[in-house]
Structure 1
Amino acid sequence: MSSVSTSFGDAAIMLRRNFKHTARNPVTVFQAVLFPIVMMLMFVYVFGGAFKVEGKYVDYAVPGLMVMAITYGLGPTAAAVNGDMTKGIINRFKAMDVSHGAVLAGHVISTTVRSLMADAAIIGVGFAMGFRPHASFLQWLAAIGIMLLLAFATSWLTVAMGLGAKTAESAGLATVPLIMLPFLSSAFVPADTMGTGVRQFAEYQPFTPIIETLRGLLTGNPSSGDAIAALAWCVGLALLGYVWAVSAFRKRA
Structure 2
Amino acid sequence: MNVKIGEYNVLKVIKEKPMGVFLDDGDIGILLPKRYVPRDTRIGDELNVFVYHDNEARIIATTERPFGVLGDIVKLKAVSTTDFGAFLDWGIMKNLFIPKSQIQNIIRPNGEYLVKIVIDELTGRLAASEKLEQFLSNEELTVKEKDLVTLLIYRRTNIGYEVIINNVHKGLLHYNDVFEDLEIGDKIGGFIKNILPDNKIDVGKGEIGYERVENQTEKILRLLQENKGFLPYHDKSSPEKIYSFFGISKKTFKMAIGSLYKERKIELTKDGIQLL
TM-score range, shorter chain: under 0.3
Answer 1 or 2: which has greater strand percent: 2
Task: Work out which structure has the larger RCO, using CA pairs closer than 8 Å and 6 or more positions apart in sequence.
Answer: 1
Answer 1 or 2: which has greater helix percent: 1
TM-score for both structures, normalised by structure 2: 0.21
TM-score for both structures, normalised by structure 1: 0.22
